[in-house]
Amino acid sequence: MQTEKSIWDNKELIETLEKGGVVVMPTDTLYGIVGKAQDLAVVEHIYALRKRRPNKPCIILIGDISELKKFSITLSEEQKNVIKNFSLPTSFILDCPRDLPAQTGKFEYLHRGTKTLAFRIPISSELRDLLKKVGPLIAPSANLETTLPSENIYMAKKYFGDSVDLYIDGGTITNKASKILKLNKDGTITIVRE
């Protein structure tokens, strides 16, 4: 099995993502089918490949909390404190800015009508380094809607075949999906997925 460094520090992976390609690769939890979150065509392509329900948003992986600015989201101090205190892979659902209706509309292809976006900063520093190079990535699990997540590349290839631009083999992965919390401005949380 490759080391974490060699999985994400990969020239072909970086170039494929930068050019708007779709990649199946290990994330900090499961295999994901990933692509640039700020590219509407890429996002819609991933939804089509996964046969994902059109009203179900995807989690967005970011390399640093400062990248929330790219989505017009500013965290309160209470929200920042909550995020800092979680060490397990945890995704946070945040409200889109209500005072910027034009901005909210701009990200409708991501929030899918929910007016919220879900973000995760991976625990792995190597994966965060990749995200800092290529930008935020949507990262739903690498499977078709209602089927089991891929535990390895062979399973992913059965789902997607040649319709994905690149597969990155990280061996067998049987981790759980991330915990999902709805994080309010006042720092209160609601558990969405354990």
- pTM, two decimals, is 0.91
DSSP 188: -
The 8-class DSSP code of residue 36 comes to: E
Q: pLDDT tens digits, residue range 116-167?
A: 999 999 999 999 999 999 999 999 999 999 999 999 999 999 999 999 999 9
- Write phi, then psi, for 145 (nearest 5 degrees): -50, 135
Domain count of the chain? 1
CATH number, residue 129: 3.90.870.10
Please check whether residue 159 is in contact with residue 102, taking contact to mean a CB–CB distance below 8 angstroms: no
Q: 7: which 2 tokens? A: 């999985």
Residue ranges making up the domain that contains 10: 4-193
